[in-house]
A and B are shown apart, each in its own frame.
Chain A
Amino acid sequence: MKSIKVYGPGCKRCETTVEMVKEAAASLGVEAEVEKVTDPKAIAMAGVMSTPGIAIDGKLVHSGGLPDAAKLAGWLQG
């Protein structure tokens, strides 16, 4: 079970990222709990400076812009 956090104040790209992560996890058969973090304080504390950011099991793997689909799959399987 992976714990995935998507950091973003609620812009359109952040929503898209959440969907991408969910779909990727489902299609790869990776069990994952996806949480959306919208609190600016929490976003800042996670070290995310450009949103959306993605952290998997507490490790920040991506920040700024939509994630690349192939890379996303890599993070989920790693």
Chain B
Amino acid sequence: MSADITSSPQRAPRPDWVWHLGVLVFVVVWWLVYQQLIPASEWITALFPIDRHSHTGEAVAFFFYDVPKVMMLLTLIVFAMGVVRSYFSPEKTRALLSGRREGVGNVFSAALGIVTPFCSCSAVPLFIGFVSAGVPLGVTFSFLIAAPMVNEVALILLIGLVGWHVAAIYLIFGLSIAIIAGFIIGKLHLEGWLQDWVRDIHSGANTATVLDEERLSMVDRYRLGIEAVREIFSKVWVWIILGIGMGALIHGYVPQDLMMRVMGAGTWWSVPAAVLMGVPMYTNAAGVIPIVEALLGKGAALGTVLAFMMSVIALSLPEMIILRQVLTLRLIAVFIGVVASGILAVGFLFNVIF
């Protein structure tokens, strides 16, 4: 009699093959619907009493194509990543990273940042958990930079809305910034700049409590995937709609020559300005990428747009406030300085190359 406490009474468990089949059917239906998005959006736009080729027409068509497209991509990929993530946990990642030398450790750490489940609300316990288990400070930072910045939501939205080459650039340079920034912070030996109580835990106290590893079946992993989708949608759908709405406005109304002048490759100050603008903006990949697409479409330079996007996602004020509990202001300043320099470098580099 353990099942009667759930809100909906539990039915007899479905056999595994029903789940496998269900996932397969879902993917096929998804694919079929996805093929129909452009005709559907044109059809909806045609229902409005507006000229398709006017500014408003462009904006409306963009909105009705992009909202369902983004939602569908998110559903599929977040589900898949929810399943993949069930093979990883912060505890396992910590075990893989503890005692690892800097350098190799930073590379490992940034890569694990992509697949380890992470929410900025548990950045503090995670930080302490890493540092107290002997993960070097710089390696911990590589993780903390990569985990929010390089994630499946960002990559898939970039592939879907902007193109796979920009997604690949973002992946490579996002990881590079995480690796190099963590490496530099490690070389600076700033352990003394942690808050006192964190240092105390670091030097002695053990946090050896280890959770018994649960064994998950494939069906459990599907369930975790579904849970991840539910959570993404309950959390980010507002951002997506706002972001796409903004993107649609830019698409329809912002004059191309203005954009070229302000965010074009010839304007050197546009990169630092983009980074500065990004810090107080609190949205996530889902909100910022539709804006990125629209900006690029209007002739903004790739480097400037990448810098803006990385700054919005990697340097967020709320996360700094959370980290303030474990880091001194000096250390936060170094963290921001190092990461911002990396982003600036990426921005300038791309504006020069392209």
Contact = CB atoms under 8 A, between A and B. Distances in A.
Contacts of A41: 128, 197, 201
Given A9-B122, A27-B5, A44-B128, A64 B117 contact: yes
B2 A77 contact: yes
A73 interface: yes
Given A11-B121, A44-B124, A47-B210, A70 B2 contact: yes
A66 B89 CA distance: 15
A33 B298 CA distance: 59
A44 B91 CA distance: 13
Contacts of B94: 49
A45 interface: yes
A36 to B, nearest CB: 15
A40 B128 contact: yes
Q: Which of B122, B205, B227, B325 has the most CB of A within 10 A?
A: B122
Contacts of A11: 119, 121
Nearest to A69: B6
A34 B162 CA distance: 49
Contact of B126 (A49, A60, A73): A49
Interface string B113-149: 0000111011011101110100000000000000000
Contact of B125 (A24, A50, A66, A70): A50
A40 B211 contact: no
Interface in A2-29: 7, 9, 11, 23-24, 27-28
A51 B122 contact: yes
Interface residues of B, number: 34
B36 interface: no
A49 B3 CA distance: 28
Contacts of A7: 125
A3 B207 CA distance: 20
Contact of A73 (B2, B117, B208, B325): B2
Interface of B: 2-6, 10, 89-91, 94, 117-119, 121-122, 124-126, 128-130, 132, 197, 201, 205, 207-211, 227, 322, 325-326
27 contacts: A7-B125, A9-B124, A9-B125, A23-B5, A40-B326, A41-B201, A44-B124, A45-B205, A47-B129, A49-B90, A49-B122, A49-B130, A50-B118, A50-B119, A50-B122, A50-B125, A50-B126, A60-B209, A61-B211, A63-B91, A64-B89, A64-B90, A64-B117, A64-B122, A66-B227, A69-B3, A77-B2
